[in-house]
Structure formats: C-alpha cells, structure tokens
Amino acid sequence: MQIQAGDHEQWPSFEQSPHSTPTLQLSPQDWRLELEGIGWFRATGGERLEWQRWDDSVSDRDIRTFAVTSGLGALAIQRGALVLHGTALERDGEAILLLGHPAAGKSTLAWCLLQEGWRLLSSELVAVGSDGMVQPGMHQLKLWYDAAVALELDWAQLPPVRKGLKRYALMAQDLTCMPQPTPLRLIYALNRDKEDSGKGVDIEAEVEVEKVSLKASRNFSQTNALMRLRNQAFHARMYRGMDAEAQLFMQAAALARTVPLHALVVPDGIKAMAESLKKIDLMQPESMQQRKESKEEDTNDD
C-alpha cells in the first residue's frame, strides 16, 4: 500500500456513480473526497492513497485524521474487506470487536481494557477479511474531555483531535498495540445503561440487568446479527457508490454465521466501567450472563 502526496488537478476524470456528491466522487476502484479547508484525498485500486492539503495552514494531524479513516476505509472496501465502525482489541492471540454509536463508549472501554492487558488492533474502523482475520488499523484512541478527566489522564498534554474541539488523541506511543492480523472470536454491540434507573434492559435478551457491572446477552440470532453488522458498515454511501453492496451483505452474513455477537450493557459512569472490567472476562460472555444468578446462589448457600 502506498500513501503519498498528490496533485488533485492531475487526477484523471472518470465515470462517477449516481451515488456521488459534489464532495465525494465514487466508482468501484476510484474514491475521491474533497473537504473545504482540509484538502483532497484519493484511493485507487486498493493499493494507493493520495492526499493534498488545502493550503499551508492545514496541519499534518488534520490530513492524517481523514487519511487513516475515510481513505483507508475506501482502500479496504476496494480490497474486498468488510469495513465496520468499531474498535478491535487483542488478547492471547484472539480479537474482540466493539460496535456502537459514536457516544457508546468504545474508546473509553478500549482504554480501560488496555490497562487490563489487552492490545489495540484498530480503532474507529475495523477491516475483517473473508478469513475472519481482523487487520491492524489505526492505533489511536480519541477521548472527550470528560472521559480524559475521569480516567485521570493529563489531557492538557494530549494533542487535540481537531482545533477547537475538546477531544484528545492518545497516539500509538501511548498505547499497547497489536501490529499483526488476529482471528476474530467475539463481537459486542455496546449499549449504555439507563441513566434514570438503577437497572438497564438487555434489548436482545429482554431481561433487567444490574447497573453495577457489565452484562452480556445471549448470542444474537443470525438475522439480528446480520442487521447489526450491516448497520455498522463504514459509510453506506461508499458501499453503494463503489458497487459493493452485495459484497457487504455476503460478508456480513458470513460473519454473522461464524462469530457470535452479543449485546454488552455498559455501566453509566467511567469509574464503574473500569471497576467492572476487573471482575469479568470479555472472552467469556457466559460468565457475564451468569453473574446475577451466581450471586443469588451464593446468597442462598449462606
């Protein structure tokens, strides 16, 4: 893979997909993005990513932000990988994948897991090959100010993700990372516990769960898992415009058949989340499903 500076005025014209927009031009093997005030980006053939900054005021960090997310995501789709919004971590040669909306707590949970001996495989977007291997990707975590303070990080020494944004980047040198492809063992769809109650609801299992700890549902059905995976695809417009929707469906269906997907109810509150991880094993979702039952049995034995 080549990543290099380019000149957007020298890029050849091409036949664009009807799903293209004025700022996003798409075809199966040619992807282009224009961001006013940032620059131009082009991914071709699954092999080359070119960029050009808007002007000299644009920082390398701003270029990198879009190159390693949208740009590398486009290259991965061109290569035939399943690309999902999520964060992947490795322990003992196996990977888990955390899925969820932008405020679900993926980066915060990932940071807490790193403190428990896990290694970061990829954040923000995750590419899974047809062989079930998670490819190493962006080794960086982005935390909002409140999360950085709650985790007792020296946020003033962290680089901001973007100028004027109270969100900060933990770079690879600050993290324990995994540089090799890793087989995917489990997928978790994160749900934040309800703030207005001492209990939350596991949507898939339809049971109340204690708010003081993480709780995993039983396996999703293949149909529900497929829908979750499709909904977490990296930029649906890109898949459509790159003529890869059928590819997305087939890959998501295959993953739903082969890798268990569980809902993971995350305690509301970062300290509660961190403490919960000391008591459970994310490689063993069954233990989280049985925690409440086990507590009741212990009480009865007493």
- DSSP annotation string for 209-278: EETTS-EEPSPPPHHHHHHHHHHTBS-HHHHHHTT-HHHHHHHHHHHHHHS-EEEEEEPSSHHHHHHHHT
Give the pLDDT score at 26.
Answer: 97
Among 230, 191, 234, 222, residue whose Cα is nearest residue 86:
234
Provide the residue type at 126 as one letter: V
pTM given for the model: 0.82
Number of structural domains, the chain? 2
Phi, psi of 224 (to 5 degrees): -65, -40
Same domain, 115 and 91: yes
Give the pLDDT score at 157.
Answer: 84
Same domain, 74 and 87: no
Give the pLDDT score at 95.
Answer: 98
Residue 263 has what DSSP assignment?
A: E
Q: Which domain holds residue 56?
A: 2-8+18-78
Is 294 within the bounds of a domain?
A: yes
Q: What are the per-10-residue average pLDDT scores of the chain (302 residues)?
A: 93 95 96 96 96 94 87 93 95 96 85 93 92 92 85 82 78 92 96 50 42 70 93 91 94 95 85 83 80 42 44
Whole-number Å distance between alpha carbons of 167 and 164: 9
Same domain, 68 and 86: no
Is 13 within the bounds of a domain?
A: no
Token pair of 58, please? 């644009």
Provide the residue type at 72 as one letter: L
Phi, psi of 48 (to 5 degrees): -130, 135
Collapse the DSSP code of 157 into the 3-class scheme (helix H, G, I; strand E, B; otherwise coil) and give the result.
helix
Same domain, 63 and 162: no
Same domain, 129 and 45: no
